[in-house]
């Protein structure tokens, strides 16, 4: 039975993501993608105008997946620093479960592709950083951080931590899992946040 257009598009994106999971990180061609799907390149272009559009589909999936949960976290969890913990945990968990998407997030899969794709990833990371910054501001209103704490610097530090764990995961052929040392490292990051507070001994 023939698949519906939407189902075929999803199948193409899923196959592309699976091909990106290969540790060697070789450039993926539409010919190779078509061969994996057992169809012609022309059949791919009936669903996507270009390979760049296929990558855009993956980025849209990443954005919808991450911000669907981030919005849920910020609406259901009132404590600012807990929001920070949950958001970073989400970023690490998503990468660990989606190897191919991790290579998109770090830009490794986008080398030699259309430059607008990296611009979209940069914008996505900026949105994540903004969400962390807002959570830190909430923590300040709850007197867990000083009102004049450098929220921007802290949010950027937290973003760089997550991206660094993604990078390590991909560069280690997916052997060094992002969540491996999270229970030990979150208290360190938490203390870095508290060092911006006026609490005794901070």
Write out pLDDT tens, residues 66-112. 999 999 999 999 999 999 999 999 999 999 999 999 999 999 999 88
Write out pLDDT tens, residues 115-126. 999 999 999 999
Q: Is the pLDDT of residue 2 over 80?
A: no
How distant, in Å, are the alpha carbons of 5, 144, 197 from that of 155?
A: 41, 15, 15
Write out pLDDT tens, residues 141-181. 998 888 888 999 999 999 999 999 999 999 999 999 999 99
8 confidence band (pLDDT: 50, 70, 90)? confident
User: Quick one: residue 157, left, alpha or beta (phi over 0 = left, psi -120 to 50 = alpha)?
Assistant: alpha
Please give the domain boundaries of the chain with CATH numbers for all domains.
51-194 (1.10.357.10)
Listed residue (35, 36, 34, 60) closest to 47, CA to CA: 34
3 confidence band (pLDDT: 50, 70, 90)? low
Angle 188-99-23 from CA coordinates, rounded to 5°: 110
Q: How far is C-alpha 44 from the chain's CA centre?
A: 26
Residue with structure tokens 């199948």? 11
- As a whole number, the mean pLDDT across the chain is 90
């Amino acid at each position: 039975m023939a698949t519906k257009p939407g189902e075929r598009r999803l199948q193409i994106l899923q196959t592309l993501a699976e091909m990106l999971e290969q540790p060697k990180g070789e450039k993926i061609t539409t010919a190779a993608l078509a061969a994996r799907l057992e169809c012609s390149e022309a059949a791919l272009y009936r669903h996507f105008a270009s390979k760049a559009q296929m990558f855009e589909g993956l980025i849209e999936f990443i954005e919808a997946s991450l911000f669907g949960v981030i919005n849920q976290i910020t609406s259901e969890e009132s404590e600012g620093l807990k929001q920070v913990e949950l958001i970073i945990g989400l970023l690490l968990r998503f990468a660990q479960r989606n190897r191919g998407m991790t290579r998109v997030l770090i830009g490794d899969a986008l080398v030699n592709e259309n430059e607008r794709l990296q611009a979209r990833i940069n914008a996505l990371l900026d949105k994540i950083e903004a969400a962390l910054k807002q959570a830190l501001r909430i923590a300040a209103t709850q007197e867990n951080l000083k009102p004049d704490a450098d929220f921007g610097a802290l949010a950027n530090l937290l973003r760089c931590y997550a991206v660094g764990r993604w990078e390590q995961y991909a560069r280690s052929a997916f052997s060094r899992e992002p969540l491996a040392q999270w229970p030990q490292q979150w208290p360190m990051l938490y203390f870095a946040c508290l060092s911006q507070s006026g609490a005794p001994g901070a």
